Amino acid sequence: MTLLEGPIGVEDLVLLEPLEEESMLKNLQLRYENKEIYTYIGNVLVSVNPYQQLPIYGPEFITKYQECTFYELKPHIYALANVAYQSLKFRDRDQCILITGESGAGKTEASKLVMSYVAAVCGKGEQVNSVKEQLLQSNPVLEAFGNAKTIRNNNSSRFGKYMDIEFDFKGSPLGGVITNYLLEKSRVVKQLKGERNFHIFYQLLAGADAQLLAALKLERDTGGYAYLNREVSRVDGMDDASNFKSVQSAMTVIGFSEEEIRWVLEVTALVLKLGNVKLSDEFQANGIPASGISDARGVREIGEMMGLDSKELERALCSRTMATAKEKVVTALNVVQAQYARDALAKNIYSRLFNWIVNRINESIKVGIGEKKKVMGVLDIYGFEILEDNSFEQFVINYCNEKLQQVFIELTLKEEQEEYKREGIPWKKVDYFDNGIICNLIEHNQRGILAMLDEECLRPGVVSDSTFLAKLNQLFSKHSHYESKVTQNAQRQYDHTMGLSCFRICHYAGKVTYNVTSFIDKNNDLLFRDLSQAMWKAKHPLLRSLFPEGDPKQASLKRPPTAGAQFKSSVAILMKNLYSKNPNYIRCIKPNEHQQRGQFSRELVATQARYLGLLENVRVRRAGYAFRQGYKPFLERYRLLSRSTWPRWNGGDREGVEKILGELSACTSEEVTFGKTKIFIKSPKTLFYLEEQRRLRIQQLATLIQKIYRGWRCRTHYQQMRKSQILISSWFRGTMQKKRYGKMKSSVLLIQAFVRGWKARKDYRKYFRSGAALTLSSFIYKSLAQKFLLGLKNNLPSTSILDKKWPAAPYKCFTTANQELQRLYHQWKCKKFRDQLSPKQVEVLREKLCASELFKDKKAAYPPSVPVPFRGDYIGLRGNPKLQKLTGREEGPVLMAETVRKVNRGNGKTSSRILLLTKGHVILTDSKKSQAKTVIGLESVAGVSVTSFQDGLFCLHLSEISSVGSKGDFLLVSEHVVELLTRMYRAVLDTTQRQLPITVAEQFSVKFKESNVTVKVTKGPRGNGNGKLSCKKKGSHGLEVTV
């Protein structure tokens, strides 16, 4: 930001006046519409998703924020990442960055930006770069297996992620640890309308090659899989095939072997194929409903791919073994139960595969045990959720957000208290809403909702969601943050929005109504032991390792921990981790539901602001002093407000600040407090007053600077012009005098030269004869010419017409004569050579010359024909009297006789013919019967078309007025096409006194009775144009010839 550039709205909401929800929304909208998506709440960053690429990222901005303090530049995610990294590097304090917000708010992109910033500013080196690359490449792998398209977001994270990045004492990354929370595994078997399954399924089907798909026994069409939403298979702006290649590359960079990548893809394919296992109704002998596999192919393919016994898998899907201490009882499952078991198996396989991938990444990026390290944690986790139908997933998500809010309030107040203590300012107790009562309602070990849910899942007898709700109603009937239909009736309240199977919790962000349906099933998260044992028996190494409980040696009748207990334990560990680090917060907000740039929905943003507790954050930050800053930067910014400190102050920083505030009437002792190193301002109005005074003072100083600058510029300009004028005039006068002197000097020298010449000629004229110079020059020139001609006589080249050597002229004056002599000598050699030739040799050369004029640089078959003499007879005509009779005596000798192939214009097939060329006709005869089938007068030949390739295809175009021409043109193939067409050209010229038009082209038209056929000649796959011809009919008016 420049000195005179004002901020858009309020950059820090702590300074917002008045502090209301409406003014906060108005400020966020104003900044968003001006593409300012980041706003501070103290050290908390609020980020509004722009749904477009903004030019505020990259190396240039990273360098800018790396060199500045937190509040020195505009709010930016780089500023927060820089504060966290600098605190970790120089103050040796472990950091954590908490990124929260609902789906589509930009949490995943925010975590990427934080990691890219840290990767850019930390150390360099081969090992460091390798670690950074592994950390960055973990993102596309986790996104592929953990992200999906939802109604709200095309790339929504369906799991919570906490990554600890570990650094050495120099601030260079050593490695990291990733922890995942609550993968939405129910998405594997069912998606809402308009949503997709996890990305990896679509990426695998779109990006895998045919060989890989065949090995995985998959088909590319997504519509063939029951677990994939057939309505939505593609996402705008997302290339699944390209992303699949990126995921494979990222897994290789992280350290996955090719075998491990293949294992992962095989288990992924197994999940898809499980969804296509069809179950049908069956009945046992006693009439009890059972189930069976209607199509054994799917189970058989799974067995082949995983090394499973297909009958063992079918038994595990369609029955259940109940084990007691004394016996085992096998119970058949009906279709509904079998489908539940199949879906539970698919969800468990995918969930365990995802956990295995996270653990495998951790193995690659883990740090050695003995190394001392600093830690920066990045938490990317789901925000507070209130849906139309809230179930068990929303309950645990909102419980996690309650804990994060508790951490935020406690750590923020603790940080405030520590800062006040450091600065020697008395701490006053701050009134705020403590959500510990809500956390206790959910997580209490004996009387919490999660404890009651576990108790209900474990107790014997009939257990259902309704009995669980009844227990909650009984236990929390008088709790101030718990409501249900029963508690409302007891208090004589009527609420039509509360269902009979629902309860409501008053969270810090608002009231949320939960439907208890499926709470018991989702908390149990049971997988029948038969399925675990079947998976453990697989020969597939990865699948077998995912189900260690299936090993009979490790079989235990002990019930596994519930999903709620596992999540509560994970949250407790996460909270312990966060309390041990210095927190940094990023609150992500989604501006509209349609993912459209520039749209800002106030209702939607207001709801998210309440969920995120933004106003609560501001109130906590403003509980004491709204603004605090070190004396030095404060003095640097506001020293221009006092004449004592401006333009130069030689005293201490605190004394300078006291001097400034003492001269301003609005800064009373109630509004301002002086700490040891910082100045504290209570009300934002006081800060705004300082900023306004500073703005006015800057305008005054700017005017003063402009006035002084303009005066200095005018004086300087005048002095420069005066000096320039004096310099120009002096140079001009000197130049004029120099020119005048130069002219006088040259004139004197010229007169002197003429006088000296005249005197010399007068003195020496008597010693020279008139015309002696011309006589001498003529004699010298004749001598040189004689010497040149005699030397040329003795060095003449050989009389061979191919020898083009010629001696060079000794002097330039003989160059033209030398060239003319060379031309005359060459013509004499050519005449001497022609005089030695016989008439037959002359005729042969004339034919070759004609062929050169017709085909040189036009047809590829010409160069090979040059050294080969033209024979004319290629069929032994002298030994065949029948063919000799066909020509007739009056025709004279046969100019050309050879076997050609005639191309049928109707179907492209060829047939053999004998072609005889005489001085007046072209005769085509049957090669077997020796009878004339077609006789064409040369006057009827209108032209010839031939290709530029090294083939023998040519077309005889006949005039329409001839009897033969009415049938159409002839398409022929000759092995001696250059010789044949050369002799035909000369015969037509001799007979009709006209030149035969020969066209060289790859496409030409052939007349066929009343229609035209377009012949198109192309090179075949081998591409040389000299192979066999292949003719193929293309419609009724096209013939394609492949050479």
DSSP string, 664-712: -TT--TTTEEE-SSEEEE--HHHHHHHHHHHHHHHHHHHHHHHHHHHHH
**Catalytic hit among 47, 82, 157, 401:** 157
**Catalytic hit among 260, 385, 655, 671:** 385
Q: E strands within 974-1028?
A: 998-1000, 1003-1008, 1011-1018
Backbone φ and ψ for 514, nearest 5 degrees, come out as: -110, 135
Give the residue from 844, 840, 859, 856 showing the smallest Cα distance to 977. 859
Residues 819, 827 contacting (CB under 8 angstroms):
no
Residues 328, 356 contacting (CB under 8 angstroms):
no
Peptide bond into 881 cis (omega under 30): no
Q: Hey, which residues does 924 pair with through a beta bridge?
A: 915, 934
What mean pLDDT, rounded, does the chain reach?
85
Burial of 236 (0-12, 13-18, 19+ CB in 10 A): exposed
**Whether 249 is catalytic:** no
**Whether 385 is catalytic:** yes
Residues 469, 517 contacting (CB under 8 angstroms):
no
Residue 996 neighbours by CB distance under 10 Å? 18
pLDDT of residue 964: 66
**Catalytic hit among 42, 275, 298, 383:** 383
Alpha-carbon dihedral 381, 387, 389, 390, rounded to 10 degrees: 40
How remote is the C-alpha of 64 from its chain's centroid?
Answer: 26
CB within 8 Å of 328: residues ≥ 6 apart: 321, 322
**Catalytic hit among 43, 111, 156, 947:** 156
The three-state secondary structure class of 582 is strand
**Catalytic hit among 43, 103, 487, 673:** 103
The three-state secondary structure class of 936 is strand
CB within 8 Å of 458: residues ≥ 6 apart: 559
- In the predicted model, residues of the chain with pLDDT beneath 70 are 1-6, 125, 287, 323-326, 370-372, 429-432, 555-558, 623-624, 665-666, 766-772, 887-891, 905-906, 929-932, 961-966, 1022-1027
What is the phi-psi region of residue 1025: left when phi exceeds 0, alpha when psi lies from -120 to 50, beta otherwise? left
- One-letter identity of residue 29: Q
DSSP string, 717-735: HHHHHHHHHHHHHHHHHHH
**Catalytic hit among 116, 139, 147, 153:** 153
What are the structure tokens assigned to 419, written together? 């800062």
**Whether 499 is catalytic:** no
DSSP string, 467-485: HHHHHHHHHSTT-TTEEEH
**Whether 180 is catalytic:** no
The residue assigned the tokens 């601030």 is: 171
**Whether 108 is catalytic:** yes
The residue assigned the tokens 């908490």 is: 98
Rg, Å, the chain Cα set: 49
The residue assigned the tokens 């110079």 is: 773
**Whether 2 is catalytic:** no
Burial of 296 (0-12, 13-18, 19+ CB in 10 A): middle
**Catalytic hit among 104, 146, 207, 624:** 104
pLDDT of residue 2: 42
Residue 381 neighbours by CB distance under 10 Å? 21
Give the residue from 883, 950, 942 showing the smallest Cα distance to 917. 883
Residue 322 neighbours by CB distance under 10 Å? 11
pLDDT of residue 942: 87
CA distances from 905 to 404, 422, 682, 1037 (A): 84, 102, 100, 10
Q: Hey, which residues does 288 pair with through a beta bridge?
A: none
pLDDT of residue 196: 92
**Catalytic hit among 108, 412, 645, 865:** 108
- Cα(554)–Cα(560) distance, rounded to whole angstroms? 13
Residues 408, 375 contacting (CB under 8 angstroms):
no
Residues 298, 276 contacting (CB under 8 angstroms):
yes
